[in-house]
Amino acid sequence: METEIAQARRIPPKSRTRICCPHCGNDTDFFEIADGVVLTTRYLQNSDGSFIQESDESQVLGEIKFFCGECNQDLSEYHNHFLEMLF
Ligand SMILES: [Zn+2]
């Protein structure tokens, strides 16, 4: 019985709530900063020697931080919530 309660407490029912900056109250404008991003761009060489871009791939090696777009407060604690609600 006790373990069930602990389990429920670990996952707060906040997945339907909007993220709101606790510092300035902003709830619309946010940005993300990624550290250590590797951008890989693939090209195909044509028979005449020219190149066309085939695809862009980016890989984030470092940490991704999430910020309030109004006051730049670090809201990384909300980042998982943000990813869940990103479409
Ligand atoms: Zn803010």
Q: Which residues make up the environment of ion ligand 1, defined by Cβ < 5 Å?
A: 21, 23-24, 26, 68, 70-71, 73
Confidence at 17, pLDDT banded by 50, 70, 90: confident
How remote is the C-alpha of 44 from its chain's centroid? 31
CA of 20 to the centre of ligand 1 (A): 8
pLDDT exceeds 60 at position 5: no
CA of 18 to the centre of ligand 1 (A): 14
Q: What is the pLDDT of residue 12?
A: 53
The structural domains of the chain, with segments of one domain joined by +, span 2-84
CA of 81 to the centre of ligand 1 (A): 16
Q: What is the pLDDT of residue 87?
A: 86
CA of 31 to the centre of ligand 1 (A): 11
Per-residue model confidence as pLDDT tens digits over 43-79? 999 999 999 999 999 999 999 999 999 999 999 999 9
Round to whole Å and give the CA distance between 61 and 75.
Answer: 20
